[in-house]
Structure 1
Amino acid sequence: MDPKPPHIALLFTTFPKTSETFLQRDVAALQAKGLKLKLYSLWGGGGTFNGLPVRNFNKWRLIGVFLVIIPWNCLRRPRLMRDLFEGVFTRRAPSWLNFWENMLGAGFAGSFAREMRLDPPALVHGAWAGAPATAGWVFWRMFGWPYSVGAHAYDLYEHGGDWWLLEKLQHARFIHTSTEMGRRELVARGVPADKIQVIRRGLDTFPAFKPLRPHRRPLRLLSIARLVPKKGLDHQLRIYAALKEAGIAFEARIVGEGPLRELLEQQAAQLQLAGEVKFTGQLAQPEVWTQLAWADVLLHTGVVAPSGDRDGLPNVIPEAMAAGVLVVTSPVAATTEAISQERTGLVADVDLPLAWVVALRRLGEDDRLAETLRAGARRWVEENYDAHKNTARLVECFQEAMKGLPRKGPESFDHGLHG
């Protein structure tokens, strides 16, 4: 009988997820490159994607983990269980959420170990450095399966970063991050630079580049964001109030959903913006493109949240740049890797609403500036945000990671959580 072709086990926290369309693009592009994939969603998700089944994690399986798998592995793999218990009881997690994220990943590995061992993956890839990477690390400790990890802004900055981040990254074949900001942070934390691959997300097809609207009055302003602290939408509403006070006619749409919606709507009412600002809620991706076709300017008012979380480079910024929508952004996080002042867009501090008023007035009135920025933005996207080019690099990383080192037995690992 011919051996089964090697496959990659892709582990996600939740897949598919409407706010993470970039991961769906990655999977579709990897499929198109001919890689054999098996998809796993650790929290919710499931169904199918592009014809591939998405296995989700039924939490009832955790009963078996606690009653059978943990006791059995205490006998079979005492070093692994010692390290796990030592980490849990001697090191404080940065947050309860991150504690349970890591427990979820470990529980998934314990629950799916027997099933996945029947057809072992050539590589396990955790799309995030939380639960998915924990599962990959535990599989490596149990069976020696090579694994790789995606480490992005949430993994690095939320409450100071993931609980077991460095242990998981230490033995990964490679680490995928999508921004130079992420690379610098990883290097600062001691990760070898040659292990880090900066591979941006990308667009599989570039949208039509719309013409500049000749008379931009009222100015059409758009924000596409989850309604969470790191998006700085309270600052954005104050910017709209300053625009109104300055006598600049505008219409604004805020696309997205989140826990801050009620507070933001109350703030908009207090600032007397009901006639100018509309909250649309979450929209499907085709409707998002419709909103970009409507807009003159995309506003991104990202900040560092009290938890430390921040954006990397939100996908909506390159999407807007590709479509011919002008962009004004705050200088926080990795947005300025794409938006270069006076070349591909404008940059303004969210604490200076009048700077945004000046920037938006310029974009509404100066056609030459607007065309220069639009052309520069489209050029940047074509050079840096082509999904086919970027995924080809990711495929090379996966193929290289699947080569090489002989697999070791489960009890040959004596690496504690403390190195």
Structure 2
Amino acid sequence: MENSPRKTSTSTASGSVAVLLKGFPRISETFILNELLLLEEAGLQLTVYALRNPGESQVHEKVKHLRAPVRYIPDYFWPNFAGIVWANLKQFFRQPSRYWPAFSFALRRSLRRWSASTIKRFSQAAYLVEHYLRKERPDQIYAHFSHGPTTVAYFARWLTGIPYSFSAHAKDIYLQEDTFLRAKVDGAKFVVTCTGFNVQHLRRVAQNPEKIHLCYHGVDVSQFSFRGPRREMGRPPVILSVGRFVPKKGFPVLIKALSHLHSRGVDFRAYLIGGGELKPQLKALTAELGLTEKVALLGKMPQEKLLSYYQQADILALACQVEADGDRDGIPNVLVEAMAMGIPVVSTQVSGIPELIHDGRNGLLVEQKDPVALADALQQLIEQPELAGRLAAAARWTVEQNFNARVNVRKILHLLVGGEDGPGVPCYSPAVAQMSPSLSSNPVDK
């Protein structure tokens, strides 16, 4: 897949960057698309290499504005057996002194763990180098997610000497063993991650903790106009929840909370927007609890369409939870988007979410996996419009101060262009801890 030819940028940043992604374009990874667009706007020359084509039927409208060519690395070994083996053989004969140690490491690791994952990623790295990086010689490699894409970047550096860096998020951090994660951190030029919670974990893992930088994803606040709570008379309040229908998002807990609201006689309508493995289970639970007239399960949708649901929403609720295997969210971007628009939010005290939502000051937080507490918080916002308005105004302030993507991307730009030793550009202001006047008031009693 090749996008439109590159246009000349008027910005001062320069340099060519190979961007490694799991898949592209993905409707659930708006934050990556936004970051790439802002880096291009700043003047970087990007080429996207994706480990698979998601083949999604819907894509964000903004994808067409990305100038970077998008190329796909074979993800499945057997359908591409000849091409992958040929690329690896070429790399071996071109530079045996680099290829053999890297291959041996990947093979030993795969055998030790009884998993083909590492040798697969090494083979993809050799393919990437042989077909693209050897000829194009980008200045550096930048990967999103610390598992597959960063493993490919790690081996690509071994084969070429091209430096790499990566952005770590959530599942990719907590579902891989620390030894290899440490090796990838220590081999990187720098690492950025999207929550302070992640920073603490990665710094415990790394031998060089100074490489770890906090940079919240944020949103382009100019695209999310503040509307504030404004429920129409005679219309039931609209509760919105957006995310993949996977266990860590806690949708069954939210549906049970909505059932509690219904049993208390609280009127509402709820839209649950997403797609994923749990959709049949969620539909069955909605029917079992007698909520089919109250709760609509809608499919995943591009951001342009999602905005119309934000406009209708009186509350946004996310029941995020930590799974038994450690899988969890970081800071869900839908929370930042809703807060930017002044939609009161309710979520859980999981991972990095309390870094965004300060309970009783700019939103409400409850314990994870507690549908009664979640129902109580939702009812509080429905029945106390003054509280909802105060939280909404403070939420917008929080986003403007610390989750403005146009400001935060400067940190990544500096690290890519200037490295670790130059004058840094902060992407997180400690002022959030001091709060604005509206945030510094006493939290609401719950």
- 2:60 maps to none
| Contact in 1 for aligned 2:150/2:166 (Cα 8 Å) | yes
* SS of match in other structure, 1:18: coil
In structure 2, relative to structure 1, the CA distance for the partners of 1:105 and 1:322 (3 Å cut) is same
In structure 2, relative to structure 1, the CA distance for the partners of 1:68 and 1:202 (3 Å cut) is closer
Q: 2:88 aligns with which of 69, 72, 76?
A: 69
Alignment of 1:313 with 2:322, yes or no, is: no
- 2:71 maps to 55
Residue deviations 1:160-188 (CA, integer Å, cap 9, x gap): 55783221111100001011011011012
Q: 2:367 aligns with which of 349, 373, 379?
A: 349
| Contact in 1 for aligned 2:357/2:365 (Cα 8 Å) | yes
Residue deviations 1:370-408 (CA, integer Å, cap 9, x gap): 12101110000001111111111110000124999xxxx
In structure 2, relative to structure 1, the CA distance for the partners of 1:315 and 1:284 (3 Å cut) is same
| Contact in 2 for aligned 1:73/1:81 (Cα 8 Å) | no
- 1:260 maps to 278
- 1:25 maps to 34
| Contact in 2 for aligned 1:126/1:132 (Cα 8 Å) | yes
* SS of match in other structure, 2:346: strand
- 1:83 maps to 105
In structure 2, relative to structure 1, the CA distance for the partners of 1:291 and 1:61 (3 Å cut) is same
Alignment of 1:111 with 2:111, yes or no, is: no
- 2:199 maps to 183
Of the structure 1 ranges 102-111 and 252-261, higher mean CA displacement relative to structure 2 is found in 102-111
Residue deviations 1:184-205 (CA, integer Å, cap 9, x gap): 1101223433101111112222
Summarize the alignment of residues 323-402 of structure 1 with structure 2, pairs less than 5 Å apart. Answer: 323-401=341-419
Of the structure 1 ranges 48-57 and 175-184, higher mean CA displacement relative to structure 2 is found in 48-57
| Contact in 1 for aligned 2:16/2:139 (Cα 8 Å) | yes
* SS of match in other structure, 2:121: helix
Aligned length: 393
- 2:138 maps to 121
Q: Distance in 1 between matches of 2:120 and 2:29?
A: 20
TM-score, length-scaled by structure 2: 0.83
Q: Distance in 2 between matches of 1:329 and 1:191?
A: 34
| Contact in 2 for aligned 1:179/1:334 (Cα 8 Å) | yes
Residue deviations 1:82-118 (CA, integer Å, cap 9, x gap): 212211112355xxxxx53x44432221112133112
* SS of match in other structure, 1:234: helix
| Contact in 2 for aligned 1:242/1:354 (Cα 8 Å) | yes
| Contact in 1 for aligned 2:25/2:53 (Cα 8 Å) | no
Task: For 2:133, give the aligned amino acid.
Answer: M
In structure 2, relative to structure 1, the CA distance for the partners of 1:9 and 1:219 (3 Å cut) is same
| Contact in 1 for aligned 2:16/2:44 (Cα 8 Å) | yes
In structure 2, relative to structure 1, the CA distance for the partners of 1:28 and 1:399 (3 Å cut) is same
Q: Distance in 2 between matches of 1:112 and 1:249?
A: 55
- 2:219 maps to 203
Task: For 1:56, give the aligned amino acid.
Answer: Y
- 1:407 maps to none
Q: Which runs of 4+ in 1 moved over 6 A?
A: none
Residue deviations 1:309-361 (CA, integer Å, cap 9, x gap): 11000100000001111100011111111111111100112443332232222
Q: CA deviation at 1:307?
A: 2.9
Task: For 2:335, give the aligned amino acid.
Answer: I
Q: 1:165 aligns with which of 169, 173, 181?
A: 181
Q: 1:193 aligns with which of 193, 209, 217?
A: 209
Q: Distance in 1 between matches of 2:421 and 2:128?
A: 24
In structure 2, relative to structure 1, the CA distance for the partners of 1:267 and 1:45 (3 Å cut) is closer
| Contact in 1 for aligned 2:88/2:123 (Cα 8 Å) | no
Q: CA deviation at 1:66?
A: 2.7
In structure 2, relative to structure 1, the CA distance for the partners of 1:302 and 1:175 (3 Å cut) is same
| Contact in 2 for aligned 1:11/1:40 (Cα 8 Å) | yes
Q: Distance in 1 between matches of 2:119 and 2:108?
A: 14
- 1:413 maps to none
Residue deviations 1:124-168 (CA, integer Å, cap 9, x gap): 11111122111211121112111101111111123x557832211
| Contact in 1 for aligned 2:362/2:395 (Cα 8 Å) | yes
Residue deviations 1:223-247 (CA, integer Å, cap 9, x gap): 0010000011111111011111111
| Contact in 1 for aligned 2:185/2:206 (Cα 8 Å) | no
Q: Distance in 1 between matches of 2:135 and 2:103?
A: 23
Q: Distance in 1 between matches of 2:15 and 2:104?
A: 32
Can you give the 5+ residue segments of structure 2 that lack an aligned partner in the other structure?
1-13, 56-62, 423-446
Of the structure 1 ranges 188-197 and 6-15, higher mean CA displacement relative to structure 2 is found in 188-197
* SS of match in other structure, 1:37: strand
Of the structure 1 ranges 146-155 and 210-219, higher mean CA displacement relative to structure 2 is found in 210-219
Alignment of 1:155 with 2:164, yes or no, is: no
* SS of match in other structure, 2:253: helix
Identical amino acids, percent of aligned pairs: 29
Can you give the 5+ residue segments of structure 1 that lack an aligned partner in the other structure?
94-98, 405-419
Task: For 1:12, give the aligned amino acid.
Answer: L
Task: For 2:19, give the aligned amino acid.
Answer: L
Q: Distance in 1 between matches of 2:285 and 2:83?
A: 48
| Contact in 1 for aligned 2:140/2:164 (Cα 8 Å) | yes
Of the structure 1 ranges 38-47 and 196-205, higher mean CA displacement relative to structure 2 is found in 38-47
